[in-house]
Structure 1
Amino acid sequence: MSTASTTQGVRGEERENFTREESRRLRERSRILLASLLAPLRVRLVITAIIVVVSTAAQVAGPTLIAYGIDNALPALVKRNDWLPTIVIVVLYLVTGIVGAVLMAQYTVLFARVSQSVLFDLRKRLFLHTQRLSLEFHESYTSGRIISRQTSDLDSIRELFDSGINQLVQGLLYMIFTAIALVSLDAPSGLVLGVALIPLFVLTRWFQVRSAKLFRATRVTSARVIVHFVETMTGMRAVQAFRKEKRNEKEYGGYVEDYRAANSKVFQLFGTFDPALVMIGNATLAAVVLFGGFRVVGGSMEIGALLAVALYAKRFFDPAEELAVFYNGYQSASAALEKISGVLEEEPSVPDPVRPTDLWHARGSIDFDDVEFAYNSDAVVLPEFDLHVPSGQTIALVGSTGAGKSTLAKLIARFYDPTRGSIRLDGVDLRDLHPKDLRRAIVMVTQEAYLFSGTVADNIALGKPDATRDEIERASRAVGAHEFIMALPDGYDTDVNKRGGRVSAGQRQLLSFARAFIADPAVLILDEATASLDIPSERLVQEALQTLLADRTALIIAHRLSTVAIADRVLVMEYGRVVEDGSPDDLISGTGRFAQLHAAWRDSLV
């Protein structure tokens, strides 16, 4: 399945309504995922199942022992002064109670371990798989929805495992063993219980059908609330800069209202289900007692048996409400598992090669052969593109916005694969190149210089994790970052805080240059990498670039033509095609597009 189609499938899961075939496919996918999570835990599950069966049987034995004590042990005590049956019954009652309690405690602990193992595996799978997915997925799947998968959706599944499944297993076993004990004690009373199962089934089925849609709606509306919140918080600068607070208040209020309305419908559903369930249980108990009372009077039933049957009839319906609560959590967790399984079903649009080709020491020669590329089958961005870049050459890509410059850079970095044709590094198709060799040979520095939590040294060493402090400082000096780093409170050991909040945009860019320098790639791509620098910083970086670009192939995408001056060759792009190709001096002296751009840039400096 292609990434485009699966991404559409994942997006579709945010809808509230599904066709029958879509619902069946989602359920099947969720079952396969759950089975794969439980497969390594088979032995634990078997042991846990044995314990809960024995524990439930011990708990259900109580009323039967009471019936035997009333109908047999007490008459023996009264008529023959025989204490043995009474003592045996009391001891058995105490033993079954203790065994049931101890085993239930053990079951709770064992199942908690199973649930934690499943959740740990699922959380790890989701993180690793999301990280492995291609850039195309992350550009189309919002960060808020990804966070929702890792937070609220996993929390729903955790709640189901922590309490819901306990309720289901114990409740079902309790109802089954109770029914068996009741029928064993008095088969006619079992018929009364059997008749009561008809309205219970109808009520439960009615609840299931309606709750499935309602609980999915709560997951959808909850995800929308989270997505809007995350996007607002991460884009707070833009929110405040464009005075979007009032609009956000209205939009967020609408999402919260939708979430409240969805939950309100769920509460209304339970408001009908719970009283109906209690009514069925009370009516069944009344019928059993009335039917049994006439039989006791008639002599065909013992009073102890009637008491036990009444207790069983009462207890049979006790777990039913817990099962409804379980179904609440189940629907929520099921919808969450469907969404998580949708993410896990995604396949990278840029897959790793099956038989990778090693390239230990890349020279940096790049070739585009009849390359065509389009995003998600949209309009073609690069039509029939051919280009040869010799190793060691510095190329500047210029052109208007949307000309295809950044797309070209993403293709070279293999964030995307061409729709047709091939891109080769030193004669090796990028699709065949070993991923480690590709990432070591090609490094891309973008306008957004992202810094991770940690120290300045940690962020520079991202380009070479085993770098020494001397190597880190040498890289920083090479790009002109050493002085401002040493001015920070703890120098290279300064914590940059969230997303580099302690350093300016220009300083973050210098750190990204140091990160690229220490990585020492054969091919370096600078995509508007100097756009956030002020003029003094840019001049400093211009000097550093001479060192940074030496002896390596480089592609520089820049609107500031001052950066272009250090290039060996300039490519002017329009509509995905190279319309001019030459040295900066040759193109400036001409009358083409680059000469016009250069003249306009020179006039802007006056």
Structure 2
Amino acid sequence: MPKRMKKIAIKRTLKLIAPDVKPQRKLIVGGVTVLLLEVVFRVLEPWPLKFVIDALSVSIGADIAEAPASLRLLLICGAAFLLVVAMRALCNYLATVAFALVGSRASTLLRARIFQHVQGLSQQFHSKNRSADTVQRLVSDVNRMQEVAVTAGLPLLANVITLVVMLIIMVVLDPLLSLVVVAAMLVFMVTSRGASHKIAVAARTTRKAEGQLANTAQESLSSIKIVQAYGLESLISDRFVGANTTSLKAGVKSRRLAARLERSTDVLVGLAQAAVLVGGGLRVLEGEMTLGDLVLFTTYLRTTMKPLRDMAKYTGRIARATASGERVADLMELQSDIASPHNPTPLGDDVTGLVTFENVHTNYESTKVLRGLNLTINPGETVAIIGPSGAGKSTLVSLLVRALDPTHGTVSIDGIPLTSVDLADLRSHVSLVHQEAILFSGTIRENIRYGRFDATDAEIEAATKAANAHDFITAMPKGYDTVVGERGGTLSGGQRQRVAIARALLRDTPIVILDEATSGLDPESAGLVLEAIEKLVEGRTTLAVTHDAEVALRADRVVWLENGRVQLNGAPSDLYSTSEEFRNWVNSKEEFAS
């Protein structure tokens, strides 16, 4: 990884987390303050030992200008040593807690900000992106990013300060011996720079491999019914093992490089200590230093070398965390092409539900979907949208909730273009019932209440009765408090659909969209769902995208889309008598159903 690219990566990471670290300024200042106090106590810690050794040296006959040892001196030095050690430990504890709090709070804020950002990205992004990799960035990568600014970054700053302070004191004590420390620092800087580049590259590969591993696991488990039904367990297991092995190799390489840097630093520190031990011993024999000075210098050397060891350890951590930071930064830099306008026009509370598509063109990537579509749906009218696959039926639905914007033309509600309306305001006036009713983990009551959070239990019960869901819910052991599995998997398709319709009824919006709401249901379940749909759409503007002839025949109007344009448009009875194409379509669907 080139040095310039490494600097850019660290800069991007720090810029990303800065807004979430800033609110913790007071805690950071407090943590740095006690960390600096710890440095002071580190400096003071060996002095009682020096006084005792020099005093003992005088007592056994050394010719140095120090007072001889006494019980009072020994007790004072012992108490002072104990006090300094205790205060250093307290400062270290307070700094550790402060930095841990900063890291946890900052990562919590950042994770919430990322999640909100991802939720606002377009459906095109979510349809292409693999969700497990996004979750990995949201959870695991954010955890690693703490090490950039907090877990490693702030202690590393304190270590640098300790290194500078200790080096100054050692130069004052003995300029000649201090050259050993300077040489060790220069060698460390040269060796660590090359190693950190390699660690960063390996860490980036590791995170990518781990994302692929998560994708493989998530995709396999979410499709477990197909995997088991088709006997694909061995194939999927082999694929998972392959991804797992790739992740393992990349992870081992990153750890190996980091361990090599740490151990080479240990050797460097050992060499420096050996040089000081020999050189300092000679200085004592020559009378240039006292025995206490040598002990003091050696202790400072060990204290000075600790930051070098920590730097080696933190270099690997920061490199790995920066790789995670880049992944998160890449995600945060994605911008949705669907956004609320700066000065939105409110739809108001008296929306009638007049929907207009005027000369609408859309593209999906480079493929044209709608080609100059014109369509008006009157307030309270139910319109069935039919046609072959790829004709643009689902695109029509996406346009109405601004999951997609036209490349040309206008979509409006009550004459107000949707691009001038706040997204939350627009979507609060529309209820959707999809082909696959999506339920969340939780109770049935909670899933229905997502339609309107302030709904009472009585209102929820009324909605479920209208949706033909009350009977099967109350037949369950825990009734409305029955917990459904992930995506409602513990309920049948018809039951999930009726719960979704109850949720839409509770939402009580002027516009309803049914996207293949009866597809894949058995006749009995489809009949119950159709009865519920009739109550849902009563008095509301409704678009029903469907391949179900019964849904089309129950509509006020049928619109046939093909090649991105309206081919047929009229009442189902009129079209049945005048259009052979529509009549054949109805008959084929009825024959298939029978």
Q: Is this a same-fold pair by TM over 0.5?
A: yes
Secondary structure of the residue aligned to 1:387 is: strand
Question: How much does 1:255 deviate?
Answer: 0.8
Give the whole-Å Cα distance in 2 for the aligned partners of 1:326 and 1:403: 57
Mark the CA change 1:66 to 1:248 in structure 2 (over 3 Å): closer, same or farther.
same
Give the whole-Å Cα distance in 2 for the aligned partners of 1:510 and 1:272: 61
Secondary structure of the residue aligned to 1:431 is: helix
Give the whole-Å Cα distance in 2 for the aligned partners of 1:20 and 1:316: 27
Mark the CA change 1:59 to 1:25 in structure 2 (over 3 Å): closer, same or farther.
closer
Question: How much does 1:68 deviate?
Answer: 4.4
Question: How much does 1:428 deviate?
Answer: 0.7
Mark the CA change 1:274 to 1:55 in structure 2 (over 3 Å): closer, same or farther.
closer
1:255-270 alignment runs, 5 A limit: 255-270=243-258
Letter in 1 for 2:352: R
Secondary structure of the residue aligned to 2:362 is: strand
Give the whole-Å Cα distance in 1 for the aligned partners of 2:147 and 2:9: 21
Match of 2:124 in 1: 136
For the 8 Å contact 2:100–2:151, the answer to whether it is kept is no
- Are positions 1:75 and 2:51 aligned together? no
- TM norm structure 2: 0.92
Give the whole-Å Cα distance in 1 for the aligned partners of 2:10 and 2:396: 41
Give the whole-Å Cα distance in 2 for the aligned partners of 1:82 and 1:263: 57
Letter in 2 for 1:403: A
For the 8 Å contact 2:220–2:227, the answer to whether it is kept is yes
Give the whole-Å Cα distance in 1 for the aligned partners of 2:355 and 2:141: 44
- Show CA shifts across 1:18-70 (max 9, x none): 88877655433321122211111112211211110111220232234433443
Secondary structure of the residue aligned to 1:248 is: helix
For the 8 Å contact 2:17–2:110, the answer to whether it is kept is no
Question: How much does 1:328 deviate?
Answer: 2.5
- Are positions 1:236 and 2:224 aligned together? yes
For the 8 Å contact 1:398–1:405, the answer to whether it is kept is yes
Match of 2:314 in 1: 326
Sequence identity, in percent? 31
- Are positions 1:127 and 2:110 aligned together? no
Give the whole-Å Cα distance in 2 for the aligned partners of 1:20 and 1:294: 43
Match of 1:289 in 2: 277
Letter in 2 for 1:310: T
Moved more, 253-262 or 79-88: 79-88
For the 8 Å contact 2:353–2:510, the answer to whether it is kept is yes
- Are positions 1:47 and 2:30 aligned together? yes
Give the whole-Å Cα distance in 2 for the aligned partners of 1:519 and 1:28: 46
Match of 1:604 in 2: 592
Secondary structure of the residue aligned to 1:599 is: helix
For the 8 Å contact 1:366–1:425, the answer to whether it is kept is yes
Give the whole-Å Cα distance in 1 for the aligned partners of 2:475 and 2:332: 45
Moved more, 398-407 or 75-84: 75-84
Secondary structure of the residue aligned to 1:37 is: helix
Match of 2:441 in 1: 453
- Are positions 1:490 and 2:473 aligned together? no
Secondary structure of the residue aligned to 2:90 is: helix
Mark the CA change 1:24 to 1:565 in structure 2 (over 3 Å): closer, same or farther.
farther
Give the whole-Å Cα distance in 2 for the aligned partners of 1:213 and 1:492: 53
- Are positions 1:191 and 2:191 aligned together? no
CA RMSD in angstroms comes to 2.5
Mark the CA change 1:123 to 1:490 in structure 2 (over 3 Å): closer, same or farther.
same
1:265-414 alignment runs, 5 A limit: 265-358=253-346, 359-375=348-364, 377-414=365-402
Question: How much does 1:91 deviate?
Answer: 4.0
Mark the CA change 1:484 to 1:186 in structure 2 (over 3 Å): closer, same or farther.
same
Question: How much does 1:346 deviate?
Answer: 2.8
Give the whole-Å Cα distance in 2 for the aligned partners of 1:24 and 1:367: 52
Letter in 2 for 1:363: T
Mark the CA change 1:260 to 1:175 in structure 2 (over 3 Å): closer, same or farther.
same
Give the whole-Å Cα distance in 2 for the aligned partners of 1:348 and 1:298: 75
Question: How much does 1:102 deviate?
Answer: 1.6
Question: How much does 1:556 deviate?
Answer: 0.7
- Are positions 1:524 and 2:507 aligned together? no
Mark the CA change 1:92 to 1:270 in structure 2 (over 3 Å): closer, same or farther.
same
Match of 2:545 in 1: 557
Give the whole-Å Cα distance in 2 for the aligned partners of 1:135 and 1:457: 28
Question: How much does 1:289 deviate?
Answer: 2.4
Give the whole-Å Cα distance in 2 for the aligned partners of 1:199 and 1:25: 25
Equivalent in 129, 149, 154 of residue 142 of structure 2: 154
Letter in 2 for 1:353: P
Secondary structure of the residue aligned to 1:331 is: helix
Mark the CA change 1:437 to 1:211 in structure 2 (over 3 Å): closer, same or farther.
closer
Moved more, 344-353 or 426-435: 344-353
Question: How much does 1:405 deviate?
Answer: 0.1
Give the whole-Å Cα distance in 1 for the aligned partners of 2:576 and 2:141: 57
Mark the CA change 1:19 to 1:412 in structure 2 (over 3 Å): closer, same or farther.
farther
- Show CA shifts across 1:444-485 (max 9, x none): 111110111222222222212222222222222222222222
Mark the CA change 1:428 to 1:519 in structure 2 (over 3 Å): closer, same or farther.
same
Give the whole-Å Cα distance in 1 for the aligned partners of 2:581 and 2:432: 27
Mark the CA change 1:90 to 1:259 in structure 2 (over 3 Å): closer, same or farther.
same
For the 8 Å contact 1:363–1:426, the answer to whether it is kept is yes
Letter in 1 for 2:359: D
Number of positions where the alignment pairs a residue of Structure 1 with one of Structure 2:
588
For the 8 Å contact 1:506–1:532, the answer to whether it is kept is no
5+ residue gaps, structure 2, are none
For the 8 Å contact 1:38–1:118, the answer to whether it is kept is yes
Moved more, 362-371 or 264-273: 264-273
Match of 1:589 in 2: 577
- Show CA shifts across 1:318-365 (max 9, x none): 343333222232222222222223323333322122112222111010
Secondary structure of the residue aligned to 1:463 is: coil
Match of 1:3 in 2: none
Equivalent in 109, 112, 115 of residue 100 of structure 2: 112
Letter in 1 for 2:128: S
Letter in 2 for 1:66: L
Mark the CA change 1:57 to 1:113 in structure 2 (over 3 Å): closer, same or farther.
same
5+ residue gaps, structure 1, are 1-17
For the 8 Å contact 1:509–1:533, the answer to whether it is kept is no
Question: How much does 1:181 deviate?
Answer: 2.5
Give the whole-Å Cα distance in 1 for the aligned partners of 2:4 and 2:255: 28
1:27-66 alignment runs, 5 A limit: 27-66=10-49
Secondary structure of the residue aligned to 2:441 is: coil
Give the whole-Å Cα distance in 2 for the aligned partners of 1:327 and 1:593: 71
For the 8 Å contact 2:46–2:299, the answer to whether it is kept is yes
Letter in 1 for 2:435: Q
- Show CA shifts across 1:513-563 (max 9, x none): 111122121111100011132112222232333322221111111111111
- Show CA shifts across 1:188-239 (max 9, x none): 1111221222222221112111111011111111111112111211121122
For the 8 Å contact 1:178–1:316, the answer to whether it is kept is yes
For the 8 Å contact 1:509–1:532, the answer to whether it is kept is no
- TM norm structure 1: 0.91
Mark the CA change 1:268 to 1:24 in structure 2 (over 3 Å): closer, same or farther.
closer
Letter in 2 for 1:63: P
Moved more, 312-321 or 177-186: 312-321
- Are positions 1:221 and 2:212 aligned together? no
Give the whole-Å Cα distance in 1 for the aligned partners of 2:69 and 2:481: 85
Moved more, 359-368 or 448-457: 448-457
Give the whole-Å Cα distance in 1 for the aligned partners of 2:135 and 2:327: 12
For the 8 Å contact 1:225–1:252, the answer to whether it is kept is yes
For the 8 Å contact 1:77–1:86, the answer to whether it is kept is no
Mark the CA change 1:205 to 1:347 in structure 2 (over 3 Å): closer, same or farther.
same
Moved more, 392-401 or 498-507: 498-507
Moved more, 72-81 or 214-223: 72-81
